[in-house]
Chains A and B, each alone.
Chain A
């Protein structure tokens, strides 16, 4: 590691420690790091949008004579009508475009991936003769009861209520499992950071002495 890199990595290590100081309590170092990350990332995104969206998706096609790109250009400019109190309403068509196309794309995809595919996958052979069949039956019962929990047209009382309660139990087991599975990934992130600090300080010590 050269001196320049040692200094740059020192900056990074200092910022890492600033963030971790938050774990003790809010303090000026954390505040500094917090405001820095917000400012830098806002600038970073401006870059990303300028270089990956504005230039290649609007300016370059327009320069290449694809005149229809003027439409998104106008829609985009209309958003700036928000700066004026009087002409604010001009930004609404753009909102309509973004929200409408978002909803339109989402509807068939949600139905396909989260409803029909799931229904298809849940139609499992059931029975009482072997363990896999019993497990399948259990899956279907659990899906049923959990769906009952999301049923709004009926009070959760009696047998219906019992099913919904069993449904919520299923959900809780699922949440517990989800939590347990995630711990490892989060610890991996911490380990990566600690290894970074460890290696940096080892380098620093060997450079100094």
Chain B
């Protein structure tokens, strides 16, 4: 780390290091290696040097900020509005004594969005635990069932109400998208949940769920990173958590300050990306395309 130039203002140090690193790579690898040769026998794909640089940089900043947070340095993160929306919806359901419905999307647990949804689910379970209202979790992929069961059980336990956990409320419905949607609609219509929380990876069924939920008069909060479904959630739900906010909400809810470090890390990455974008656009405008080409991935 000594070889990196250090600025006097420590805030900018990581940023400068990255820029320095990028310049170094650009100097070391001037061919931008758009090589087309047969790589089936080699152990490293030189066309992907740029990816490696970004990956190392991104992992670096995230781990750096998480370690900073671990040391107890306070990191400012603005209040995420989605959190209030979830709390408000659950609050209304408890006031009315009506159930809460949590829909974790239709993709398997190896999808990161589903993992984020599971983190949120544990915290929703904790909120609900004290009020003796059921928390329904309909599930589309069998692999998500054990994870959801564990999260709900743990949430109830950490709220001091392990007895309130009802195993029958975490329900596998169907792997088939529209059969699943039909099953969830059934719960919405007949159990009349007051709060519908839709978090995870959704596809065409998004609007079916959100419209049926509206029909039953529930407060609906939805969150997904699937861009094609966001318009429907925005139109039909009371509050929509957009894209990265889903992951931010899960990081915030996990209540461990060190995990918030990752948010800082991805913020820094965004700042770097904006810088690169601006630089790239200016260079391209002046006819210098080498910088842009370096970002080309084969």
Contact = CB atoms under 8 A, between A and B. Distances in A.
Report A-B touching, CB under 8 Å: yes
A122 interface: yes
B182 A37 contact: yes
Contact of B176 (A45, A117, A133, A147): A45
B242 interface: yes
A134 interface: no
A16 B80 CA distance: 43
Contacts of B284: 123-125
A33 to B, nearest CB: 8
Nearest to B58: A111
B280 interface: yes
A70 interface: no
A120 interface: yes
B145 to A, nearest CB: 8
B54 A115 contact: yes
Given A112-B297, A178-B228, A153 B76 contact: yes
Given A123-B280, A150-B245, A102 B111 contact: yes
Listed residue (B55, B227, B276, B277) with the most chain A CB atoms within 10 angstroms of its CB: B277
B264 A153 contact: yes
B202 to A, nearest CB: 14
Interface stretch (B98-106, B124-132, B266-274): B266-274
A45 B263 contact: no
B110 A98 contact: yes
B296 interface: yes
B277 A182 contact: no
Contacts of B295: 116, 119-120, 123
Contact of B274 (A44, A91, A124, A144): A144
B214 interface: no
A179 B210 CA distance: 14
B249 to A, nearest CB: 10
Contacts of B228: 178, 182
B292 interface: yes
A204 interface: no
Contacts of A64: none
A38 B51 contact: no
A152 B248 contact: yes
Interface in B197-251: 227-228, 230-232, 234-235, 242-245, 248
B78 A111 contact: no
A155 interface: yes
Contacts of B280: 119, 122-123
B182 A38 contact: yes
Nearest to B176: A41
B230 A95 contact: no
B190 interface: yes
Contact of B54 (A111, A140, A143, A179): A111
13 contacts: A31-B186, A40-B179, A98-B110, A101-B110, A112-B297, A119-B273, A119-B277, A119-B280, A123-B292, A126-B281, A127-B285, A150-B243, A172-B234
Given A41-B175, A98-B110, A120-B296, 16 more contacts: A26-B189, A41-B179, A42-B175, A45-B174, A45-B176, A79-B146, A103-B115, A122-B280, A126-B282, A140-B277, A143-B277, A147-B274, A152-B78, A153-B267, A155-B78, A182-B228
Per CB-CB distance, the 8 closest pairs between chain A and chain B, nearest first, are: A102-B110, A123-B280, A41-B176, A41-B179, A175-B231, A120-B295, A179-B231, A178-B231
Interface of B: 50-51, 54-55, 58, 75-78, 80, 108-112, 115, 143, 146-147, 173-176, 178-179, 182-183, 185-186, 189-190, 227-228, 230-232, 234-235, 242-245, 248, 263-264, 267, 270-271, 273-274, 276-278, 280-285, 291-292, 295-297
